[in-house]
Amino acid sequence: MDATFDAAVGLLAIVDLGEALVGLHERVRRWRSVYPSPDWPDHGAPEPVITGRATVTRFDARAADATARPGQLLLAHAETDAANQIAESVTLVFAPGPDHAGTLLARARAGVESPFRVTAAGASELHIPPGAPAISVIGQSAHGGYPHRGHNPVPAALALLRHGLKGGWIDGTPPLQANFAIDLRLPPEMALADGLAQFQGWADGWIRSYGTPAHVDAPAARCRGGYALPLDHPALLRLERILTETLAAHGIFGEYGGTDASALGVLKTASGDPLPAIVFGRMDRMANIHQAEESADPALIAGVARTIERFVREP
């Protein structure tokens, strides 16, 4: 989902909306599934069952006026190219002020709590103007659907900006254009339209209450429904038998969802059965989806191909 400001606004209005969107995660967590969470209790999952999840992944802002005032935010960017991926860092670029470059890091570090940290800006997709002090709020990247596996730097960056506005070392008067992206995940049993309507209703209600010139929408091309199969479904039991013979698998013990698997909901086998997803490669909890270490083991590809062929051809 996208949250977009319809007009340039002051920095405080941007921080307010961003933190309101972050806070909606607590409402979405009330959506509970009957399916157990594969990350409970040893891998940080907040509940023993799968719950709804709403993660603010993208944050972009740009000064609307070419005339910079000392200490104002010029640019902000969450360093990710995917709306379903938590960024590793958020880059914040400021207009230089009196000794701003010398004091910015110290002031910023006082506004960020562990496990986050602040450094001089590293690699960024932004073009940083010469002489403009820039910092990075560092977190830990993760898939947006599993926020507990990472440390999202967007809320930390928003908290830092609020800290700077309150302390007076950030000038929040000059207007900016800004937008956020939210990765919204529903429990398997929840209809897509129901989840979108509830989340958008909460967000729209906040926007109306505060008179914020912004809107939230969910482009159809970026919304996908999902599906779930019980672990004793005949199609999964047949897949388990074949996987045992082709890949020496130890059984089916969990579930896989997300962008790729959601596309399987409309696919069927020749006999009309559901088509389970086969995921191979490095999909362990330490792999960062969409990043370089995501890989497929070439030694397994032949076995996967045999598995697919047998599943489709055999009764």
User: pLDDT tens digit string along 273-287?
Assistant: 776 665 555 455 555
Q: Is pLDDT above 60 for 293?
A: no
Angle in degrees, CA 209, 7, 216, rounded to 5: 55
Angle in degrees, CA 118, 121, 122, rounded to 5: 110
Q: In Å, how far are 162, 203, 212 from 208, measured between CA atoms?
A: 22, 9, 7
Q: What is the pLDDT of residue 72?
A: 94
Render pLDDT for 99-145 as a digit per residue (tens, 0 to 9): 666 688 999 999 999 999 999 998 899 999 888 999 999 999 988 88
Q: What residue spans define the domains of the chain?
A: 2-221, 234-313
Q: What is the mean pLDDT of residues 141-155?
A: 91
In the sheet that holds 2-5, the strands lie side by side as 117-120, 134-138, 89-94, 73-78, 53-63, 176-185, 2-5, 214-217
Nearest to 134 by CA among 88, 171, 97, 101: 101
Per-residue confidence band for 15, with pLDDT thresholds at 50, 70 and 90: very high
48-52, 193-197, 231-235, range with the lowest pLDDT: 231-235
Name the DSSP letter for residue 35.
E
Does domain 2-221 sit in CATH 3.40.710.10? no
Bridge partners of 214, per DSSP, are: 5
Nearest to 47 by CA among 32, 60, 58: 32
Percentage of the residues of the chain whose pLDDT score is greater than 70:
85
Please tell me the distance from the alpha carbon of residue 15 to that of residue 160, in angstroms, as a whole number: 10
Q: What is the pLDDT of residue 157?
A: 98
Q: Is pLDDT above 80 for 48?
A: yes
Q: In Å, how far are 18, 243, 306 from 298, measured between CA atoms?
A: 43, 17, 14
DSSP-based three-state secondary structure for 102: helix
Please tell me the distance from the alpha carbon of residue 282 to that of residue 277, in angstroms, as a whole number: 15
Please tell me the distance from the alpha carbon of residue 156 to that of residue 302, in angstroms, as a whole number: 45
In whole angstroms, what separates CA 175 from the centre of its chain?
A: 27
